Structure 1
Amino acid sequence: MSYLKKQGILSHIRKGVYMPSDMQDKFRIACNAVDDGCIVYHAALEYYLLQTQEFNWLYVHSSSCFRTFEYMNESYIYKPVKFLLNPVLIDGDNPYPIRVTSLNQTIIDCLYNINLAGGLEELLYAISELDPEKISEDEMLHCLKLYNNKSLYQRAGFILHHYKDKLGLSDDFFDVCRKNMGNNTSYLVHPYHCNSYSKEWNLCIPDNVMKQNQKDAYYEI
């Protein structure tokens, strides 16, 4: 390893991990520098080109905990998800494939932890840019069931209902959300920012979190 490093063939990524020096793809590095690495949360949104901001850090799920490490001005941060449902494998024949949470799981994961999605505005942009042909309400409902979190059903119902027609979501989807949501009041984001209320979803929300103009939806925080 020392010889190959001196020859410029390998680079030291983190303790005990070396990869080809010409490896420039941060997603491949994220997935292969840790055990069973998988891109999650905002990093997954970025991979799917559903982000407005490009951070200099990536959230990575791994089968074993790892310390944050830096390589080529990028920070790789351990942020495990509760489960992996149908993760997408890209370039499986490549020695350094990319693994990323499915689009459907990514949306539910980000609704569960909006901060890790880059914030509410970033998440709303991502959902507004989704291709309805790539969305499966059955898979999203399965993810919601695996989370088994009443507040998540409230957040998913409230936000996704604004995109019901665009994404082709059925009434049954929202009936399931209503059936499983809690009786207690929940908060979309930090209570400090919530000064309005959705009676339908028993959810405290920011004022004007969603406004509708004549052509399409636009969002304010």
Structure 2
Amino acid sequence: MALPRLHTFFYQQQVFTFEEARRKLKLSASSLYKMLHELLRDGYILRIKKTVYAVVPVEAAGRAHTPNKYLVAAKLQKKSYLSYHTALELHGVAESAYNTVYVSVPWQARSFQFQSTTYFFVTKYDSFGLTKVKVEGIPLMVSDREKTILDGIDRLKYVGGLEEYLKSVSSFPSIDVSRLIRYLKLSNKKALYAKAGWLLSLFSKQWFVKQVLLDDLQKHLSNRTFYLQETNGRVSFRFNSTWNLMVPENVEGLIEETPA
């Protein structure tokens, strides 16, 4: 019987691709399509996307089943990692729970919705700053703490905005500041130097940021003034001369800690 065989391979993994099933089961494409069709019909698996499926527990077969959104996201593209707000969630610091899962990929991919979750692809893929986080015992590729911090302040719209971002990263009791600066130099973006420098100043006591490191970052600043977040006409800004950065007037009120 096909069901026990497929469950043996994919029950713990929970989510699998067509190619994984073909390799594991050693079936021709036509035979596998037939098997999957029967399992779909009987409610033993769900089709999430064209070639991505989720195993339905035997006791839930034929009934509503919601697969783990992180396990789903990890199978959507061969080359990818979970990032931005999703990485904050997986590192256990996200201020809020989101129904959007962010997946970083090296090429454009169309975002889509499955059940109540949106799977959003961000065309940004770096080979550094990655780690594995276990979800239900399964290791998933995720941006590490320091890369998540940098990516987030670089593109705040993918981490829920400035307030959500600051409240989330403030839950990191410590970070590897040297590693963050190494990633910053690999990115080599002038705006990001200003934003990261401002952020490290903000959390200098909590994250044990030495002044000599902040002084070094200042050497990389541009003559151009950047904005910490997008201007939309509803936010008043003030100039931070240390980082040549326009920051919201009320930014210190968004979190309990204030700049040194």
**TM-score (structure 1 length as normaliser):** 0.87
Amino acid at match of 2:246: C
1:177 is matched with: 217
Distance 2:254 2:145 in 1: 25
Moved more, 120-129 or 20-29: 20-29
Superposed CA deviations along residues 60-94 of structure 1, whole A, max 9, x for unmatched, are 013443221222210101113341324122349x6
Shift in CA distance, 80/97, structure 1 to aligned 2, threshold 3 Å:
farther
The residue that corresponds to 1:75 in the other structure is 118
Match of 1:106, as an amino acid?
A: T
Q: Distance in 2 between matches of 1:63 and 1:3?
A: 35
Is 1:167 paired with 2:207? yes
Q: Give the match for residue 207 of structure 1.
A: 249
Instruction: Give 2:131's aligned residue.
Output: 88
**Structure 2 unaligned regions, length at least 5:** 1-35, 58-65
Matched, 1:142 2:178: no
Alignment of 1:32-111 (within 5 A): 32-91=75-134, 97-111=139-153
Moved more, 58-67 or 201-210: 58-67
Q: Please give the alpha-carbon distance, in whole angstroms, between the structure 2 residues aligned to 1:40 and 1:218.
A: 27
Misfit runs of 4+, over 4 Å: none
The alpha-carbon distance between structure 1 residues 151 and 86, as it changes in their structure 2 partners (threshold 3 A), is closer
The amino acid across from 2:43 in the alignment is: G
Q: Is the 8 A contact 1:28 1:97 kept in 2?
A: no
Amino acid aligned to 1:77? F
Match of 1:7 among 12, 18, 42: 42
Residue number in structure 1 paired with 2:157: 115
Q: CA RMSD in A?
A: 2.5
Any residues of structure 2 matched to 1:26-37 within 5 Å, and which? 26-37=69-80
Alignment CA distance shift 1:77-1:137 (3 Å): same
| 59 and 212 in structure 1: CA distance in 2 versus 1, 3 angstrom threshold | closer
Which segment drifts farther, 103-112 or 122-131? 122-131
The separation in 2 between residues aligned to 1:21 and 1:168, in whole angstroms, is 47
Mark the CA change 1:152 to 1:31 in structure 2 (over 3 Å): closer, same or farther.
Answer: same
Q: Give the aligned length.
A: 214
Whether the 8 Å contact between 2:177 and 2:207 is mirrored in structure 1 is: no
Cα deviation for residue 19 of structure 1 reads: 2.5
Structure 1 residue matching 2:132: 3-state secondary structure = strand
Residue 34 of structure 1 and its aligned partner are, at CA, apart by 2.1
Task: Provide the C-alpha distance between the structure 2 equivalents of 1:159 and 1:90, rounded to a whole number of angstroms.
Answer: 25
The alpha-carbon distance between structure 1 residues 86 and 156, as it changes in their structure 2 partners (threshold 3 A), is closer
Please tell me whether the aligned partners of residues 82 and 147 of structure 1 are also in contact (alpha carbons under 8 angstroms): no
Structure 2 residue matching 1:32: 3-state secondary structure: coil
Deviation string 1:91-129 (CA, Å, 9 cap, x unpaired) is 49x6x6421100110000001111111100011112211
Higher radius of gyration, 1 or 2: 2
Structure 1: gaps (5+ residues): none
Structure-2 separation of matches of 1:169 and 1:111: 17
Query: Aligned with 1:140: secondary structure?
Result: helix
